[in-house]
Structure 1
């Protein structure tokens, strides 16, 4: 286990660029701020705060005139703005979750206090995506309300509430909590008691035959603690029966989806967690699927190891 921790800690740190942000892999040209936010949660738990702070500084310096952050690409050593991002809601939401995790572990807000104005602006940009039903569009140019995104948004809003309270910004703290409550209610409205599933997006439900985004989406309310225990038990049962070998990555998807290991852990399925860790090490970290091992997967792997 200690070998895995050191291996993946070093893997993540090798992805950091001189600018402060991280590439998707040590040899990858892509820079994805959303995946980086998720990956660095593991470094926070390891006390590696300085690399995380450098990424946060980079993120806040790269908010565009529309209020969001795009993906970048390395070209001849230069970071080039691609002009687009996979989403706008989850990028900002996961930034707040990362920031809140640093503050909780370090018990220090001094380093982020100078960014207070920028954080308020980022919060309001995220709020613009939230609709009357409490759910957010993925981005202004893609007006779809995804279950996965909204689970991350709910957590991000809760973390924004915590962060603004720590910074003494009471108005935004109250607004973040109000929006978090509305988002949680919106997510609850996506659940169909007749189908016994959540909508994957909007009011589109799954058939349990497609791994991503259908089946993977059903794990998100479990991972983020948004499902009642009875609903979570049934969803996890359906995940297992639909893809009985997901813990050995027999899903039809080349990417590992280590988040499913966290889902298994929360459902007290330690056998699958251990199998997923062992198989990930064999297939992805040291094996033929190494090209598909990206920073957010390494981060999730690290968190699972630390909690196992």
Structure 2
């Protein structure tokens, strides 16, 4: 875990003179920045208090690079920090995960001063999600790409809910508004994406069309089922959450030993922890170390390292529940 935190620190781009610019790249030796993945990297860095200043620099970098409408593009830097930009993979998920990062930074570092100083920009990011909402409460991935994904909507919900809680703690009068918008997204997920017949979620919705679900297909059909639990829309211990976990394990029994050239999907380790399945979470961590970290796999990048760290942190916090029963 400590080594991976150091690895993430090396992903933060340095200016000449070795001061962190703030941007967090996908790899230590490259300069491609996808803010969606960087948000997870910074979230994991909060597990180490000495990284709080680095996380704040990243938060500052994100806000400095907002477009006028509150979205952010992907960035690619050269050795002199000249950059090119590219269209983001999504707008709703980028914004949602950033707001959750800001909430967790304030919660763990206690930096309410930073939040208060940046509230106008943070609200601009939150309104990005709201501007992408359709009449059914779901968010489009991009303003120009009218598909509503379960994964993105779970992240958008969590971001708005976290931001509303943050505003409430500050006594900001807009807290209730953003909370109502989070609830609208949650209601949209329940009404439009939950498949009662098959007791699982549709991965997306385009217009009136919701594709069928084949849980033998890992992505997106099976993988998206974990997101409502990860982002707090349903409780892992309740009937729906437990049933989805059982279904996932039944249809995807090899998730513990995913190996290159596929990505490891370390978020599944966290998913197992949330269900109290710490033995499988440990096996996921152990196998990832052997197959990806020790081999310097190119499929190991900042977001995977982030969920490796977060899973390890959960295992350490719950070690009395599993360590001596292995």
TM bucket normalised to smaller: over 0.9
Equivalent in the alignment of 2:228 = 221
Partner Cα distance (2:190, 2:212) in 1: 14
Deviates more, 1:113-122 or 1:291-300: 113-122
Equivalent in the alignment of 1:11 = 7
Partner Cα distance (2:82, 2:249) in 1: 41
C-alpha RMSD of the superposition: 1.6
CA contact (8 A) 2:13 2:31 kept: no
The counterpart of 2:86, out of the listed 62, 67, 83, is: 83
The counterpart of 2:219, out of the listed 212, 231, 239, is: 212
Equivalent in the alignment of 2:244 = 235
CA 1:155–1:79: 2 relative to 1, 3 Å: farther
The counterpart of 1:255, out of the listed 263, 279, 286, is: 263
The counterpart of 1:32, out of the listed 31, 34, 40, is: 34
Partner Cα distance (1:58, 1:108) in 2: 17
TM-superposed CA distance for 1:79, in Å, is 4.5
Equivalent in the alignment of 1:108 = 111
The counterpart of 1:269, out of the listed 260, 263, 277, is: 277
Partner Cα distance (2:156, 2:201) in 1: 16
TM-superposed CA distance for 1:127, in Å, is 1.0
TM-superposed CA distance for 1:243, in Å, is 1.5
CA 1:106–1:261: 2 relative to 1, 3 Å: same
Partner Cα distance (1:186, 1:277) in 2: 34
Following superposition of structure 1 onto structure 2, how do residues 122-201 of structure 1 map, counting pairs within 5 Å? 122-171=125-174, 173-189=175-191, 190-201=193-204
SS in 1 for 2:146: coil
Q: Where do 4+ consecutive residues of structure 1 move more than 4 Å?
A: none
TM-superposed CA distance for 1:257, in Å, is 0.7
Which consecutive residues of structure 2, in runs of 5 or more, have no partner in the other structure?
A: 15-20, 316-326
- The superposition leaves residues 3-41 of structure 1 with CA deviations (integer Å, 9 ceiling, x where unpaired) of xx2210100000001321111011233101111111211
Deviates more, 1:48-57 or 1:20-29: 20-29
SS in 1 for 2:24: coil
CA contact (8 A) 2:76 2:83 kept: yes
TM-superposed CA distance for 1:162, in Å, is 1.8
TM-superposed CA distance for 1:177, in Å, is 0.3
TM-score, structure 2 normalization? 0.88
Partner Cα distance (1:155, 1:162) in 2: 10
Partner Cα distance (1:226, 1:120) in 2: 22
TM-score, structure 1 normalization? 0.93
CA contact (8 A) 1:63 1:69 kept: yes
Partner Cα distance (1:79, 1:175) in 2: 39
TM-superposed CA distance for 1:253, in Å, is 6.3
CA contact (8 A) 2:11 2:24 kept: yes
Equivalent in the alignment of 1:57 = 60
Deviates more, 1:260-269 or 1:295-304: 260-269
Equivalent residue pairs, number:
301
Which consecutive residues of structure 1, in runs of 5 or more, have no partner in the other structure?
A: none
